[in-house]
Structure 1
Amino acid sequence: MGKRYLRSGALIGAALCLNAGSAWAQADSPAADVGSYTNPLLPSGPDPWITQVDGTYYYMHTQRDGITLWRTRNIADLANAEQRKVWTPPREGPNAHLIWAPELHRIGKSWFLYYTATASGFSDDAHRGVFVLENKASDPLSGTWIDRGKINTAHAGIDGTVFAWRGKNYFVYSPYLGPDSGLAIAEMKNPWTLKGREQVIAMPDQPWERLDGRQILEGPEFLAGPRGDLFLTYSASPCWSDDYALGLLRAAPGANPLDPKAWSKSPTPVLHKGNGVYATGHNGFFKSPDGKESWIIYHANAAAGMKCTLKRAPHIQKFGWTADGRPDFGLPVPEGVAQKVPSGTR
């Protein structure tokens, strides 16, 4: 098996240390009760993502005109977090506009930002792709971001993510396959290059994945199960649907992620509208600061008919696991209802 170089905040239980000399580093202090929070965390935040590094959270979401990073030790207090716009797209070229779904990952000694973009002069699916930036600084809010170009996927597509599994490193995204958007996976040669054959592992074959005029699976995200299972959540149906919801793929312990037959799909959504919250989708995962709790972040609308706009806002909530080792997200927590902050928050 190849050398494991990828360590991502999306990997449940991962712990990466920033340079001890960083101005952000803080001495350990006793945990304190910092109160409660209510959803949403921000008034706007479609396609939210969190990278967690040794108790520090880096947050980002779709802004369409560039990429901003937020940094905080209390994710429930995101509205008061430090923030900095770290990248603006070029005026022309294959990654010039419609910047979507950014994700920050730590790979080796560098930071990498994966994002979706569309070529200048176009707005159609055929001219979209997943691109990557590299920053070799220890602090992702400083340093220089190097454009590593477009990921060499087999198809035009969106919503790329990366993860490490059993000594190998994988890239998953949502390719456009005729009238459908599916999910495909490939092994990585390095953080910006795929190797070997790309495999389609899921297509929109369920009624709840084919609503409101489009057949869509998108926004794949990795989650390691407590029994060694590999899970991928994804968002189903178009983002403008009130029924935009999360689906779940599972590969059993020891399975080859590149084998489409290794993946089984939940027959129903695992997170969907409810409690006055609509269009629950495009999620990420993180742990509480003390590592004892599993949490999900996703975007949602506050009312029916709000469609796919920048008004989609970030929600977080704790989740558990079923007796057979599957994630149990429950229903969306109602907006404005006080919830306890993640355990160990200071």
Structure 2
Amino acid sequence: MMKDTFHNPLLDPGADPWVYKDYDTYYLMVTRGTKLELWKSKTLSEIHKGECQTLWNAPAEGINCANIWAPEIHKVNGKWYIYFTANDGLGDDQTRKVFVLENPSADPFEDKWVEKGFVNTEYPGLDGTIFQHKGDLYFVYAGYGNFPEYGSALYIAKMENPWTLTGPNVLISKPEYEWEKQGGMAINEGPVMLQRNHKLFLVYSASTTWSDDYCLGMLTASDDTDVINPEAWYKTNQPVFKKSIENEVYAPGHNGFTKSPDGTEDWIVYHAISESNGGSQKRSMRIQKFTWNSDGTPNFGNPLATSTTIKVPSGE
């Protein structure tokens, strides 16, 4: 019998969680070392208990043999794509790239995944994501430019297909505030798009992932704007989701968004750490419902304690 409540975390460890809902099925990916794994489930609250399949294993050597991070699965024009970060294990940040796999099957658990190479970004980088806007496909990633004052910043570019960029890589956000510079590095990473209320909300992670103060920032643009124009984006000057000492939730970030099975609720998916200075190895996957402010912006609230009993998403 299906339970009507649950507790976080869902997956421990569970860094860099990503959930994609396709019709009545949820798909989940997290960082899993040297492989890409995919879960699928009819429910969100028990997605971590769903069927799991290993889709890809890193080669023993080469440009994508190490540091397999932050996989995301997307569906574009009826085909499935997975974007993930990797490098050669030798060059650190300067050899990081975003790689792409493609699967034409209706079910991503069927057929073979084909390697499409790496996205031709202008800068080395990580955490690639895509979104569609006005009929065009766009790519956003955390790039390492030649800027000594910060580690990574967010760049956007138009795509000519799901693995190829066309035109310039435009800087739309760099670490500016103190809350973006915690843990020893100034970081903007993990971008993800939330489209609603005639607006585009690009939510990203700020500071280092091992810092207690890892958090979420947000850029906002009107949906009738040219998203390649950096002037189109307004940056919120405070975090929109951050640690809760009272709830013993630290470093909440690297998120995604999804909906309840019946489509009436919005849910944020994220990782966090349950102890101060716990380190990145203790990141676990959590989910919680969020609401909307009267001005049409999202209200993520505070990260919930692991002792909090949460009602399952509507429609489960």
Fold match (TM-score > 0.5):
yes
Alignment-mate amino acid for residue 187 of structure 2 = I
After superposition, give the CA deviation of every residue in 1:30-60 in whole Å (9 maximum; x if it has no partner): xx97411100011211000001011210001
Aligned-residue offset at 1:253: 3.3
Measure, in 2, the Cα distance between the counterparts of 1:306 and 1:255: 41
Sequence identity, in percent? 45
Query: Hey, what does 2:113 align to over in structure 1?
Result: 145
Which residue is 2:309 aligned to? 338
- State whether residues 42 and 78 of structure 1, in contact with CA within 8 Å, keep that contact through their aligned partners in structure 2: no
Taking the aligned partners of 2:168 and 2:277, their CA distance within structure 1 comes to 40
- 1:146-165 matches, cutoff 5 A: 146-165=114-133
Q: Distance in 2 between matches of 1:234 and 1:195?
A: 23
Structure 1's unaligned 5+ residue stretches are 1-31
CA pair 79-189 structure 1, distance change in 2 beyond 3 A: closer
Question: Which residue matches 2:59?
Answer: 90
Q: Quick one: distance in 2 between partners of 1:99 and 1:211?
A: 24
* Residue matched to 2:83: 114
Q: Gapped runs of 5+ residues in structure 2?
A: none
What does 1:164-203 correspond to in 2, within 5 Å?
164-177=132-145, 178-179=147-148, 180=150, 181-203=152-174
What corresponds to 1:58 in structure 2?
27
Q: Which has the higher contact order (CA 8 A, sep 6+)?
A: 1
CA distance in 1, matches of 2:202, 2:167: 21
- Give 2:181's aligned amino acid: R
Query: For residues 242 and 18 of structure 2, what CA distance do their matches in structure 1 show?
Result: 19
Corresponding position: 1:44 with 2:13: yes
Question: Deviation at 1:123?
Answer: 4.8
Whether 1:249 aligns to 2:219 is yes
CA distance in 1 between partners of 2:240 and 2:224 (Å): 24
Aligned residues: 311
- Deviation, structure 1 residue 128: 0.4
Q: What CA distance in whole angstroms lies between the structure 2 residues aligned with 1:313 and 1:304?
A: 14
CA distance in 2, matches of 1:85, 1:115: 14
* Distance in 1, Cα, partners of 2:57 & 2:108: 15
CA shift at 1:79, angstroms?
Answer: 3.5
Alignment match, 2:4: 35
- Provide the rounded CA distance (Å) in 2 between the counterparts of 1:129 and 1:303: 31
Structure 1 moving runs of 4+ over 2 Å: none
Partner SS state of residue 173, structure 1: strand
Residue identity matched to 1:302: S
Residue 16 of structure 1 is matched in structure 2 by: none
Counterpart amino acid of residue 169 in structure 2 = E
CA distance in 1, matches of 2:292, 2:41: 27
